[in-house]
Amino acid sequence: TLYTFSTENWKRPEQEVRFLFTMMIDYLQKRLPEMVREGLRMRFIGRRGQLGSELNQFCEYIEDSTSKGSRLDLLIALNYGGRAEIVDAARKIVANTKDPEAIDSETIAAHLYAPDVPDPDLIIRTSGEYRISNFLLWQGAYSELCFTSTLWPEFTEDEFQSILDDYSRRQRRYGSITEDDGPE
């Protein structure tokens, strides 16, 4: 999942917002043949209703063009916020559930934007910021985190591999402890 535009990014200057959308559209149009060839399936998650018809049509075009991809699902978080996603899930649940006791974590997960996609094992935050910025709040509960000062456009395959190597040495505990963590 690539976090391309947050629900809070609308607070930026209008010219910058237009530039970000134009840059994304140009990049995806240029790379579309390669993505199809490589078997990528792209989906956009977020509050698409606020994007306008032209941008929504473009998102649908990209999704349709890559719909047969089976090697990798790539989610593009566009007008996305983790809190907004949880609020939207809660609204769907309330509209469809009569018994509050029937609501559990699986119910909430089933109503998120991409319920068929597994939770991320690793979240990489570029740009030197040490925060998750409202990104995959529900899904990232047990994700390992990596922070790098590299800006996204300069993020290289070598750095990605180095992060994956570091991740492979981590011991995932999902809230439990290991014998190594216990009291001595």
**Domains of the chain by residue range:** 1-80, 81-114, 118-170
What band does 156 get if pLDDT is binned at 50, 70 and 90?
Answer: very high
pLDDT of residue 14: 96
* pTM of the entire predicted model: 0.87
The C-alpha R_g of the chain, in whole angstroms, comes to 18
The whole-number average pLDDT for the span 1-23 is 95
Nearest to 170 by CA among 152, 150, 153, 146: 146
Residues 6+ apart with CB under 8 A from 100: none
The whole-number average pLDDT for the span 16-44 is 95
pLDDT at 44 over 90: yes
What band does 98 get if pLDDT is binned at 50, 70 and 90?
Answer: confident
What band does 182 get if pLDDT is binned at 50, 70 and 90?
Answer: low
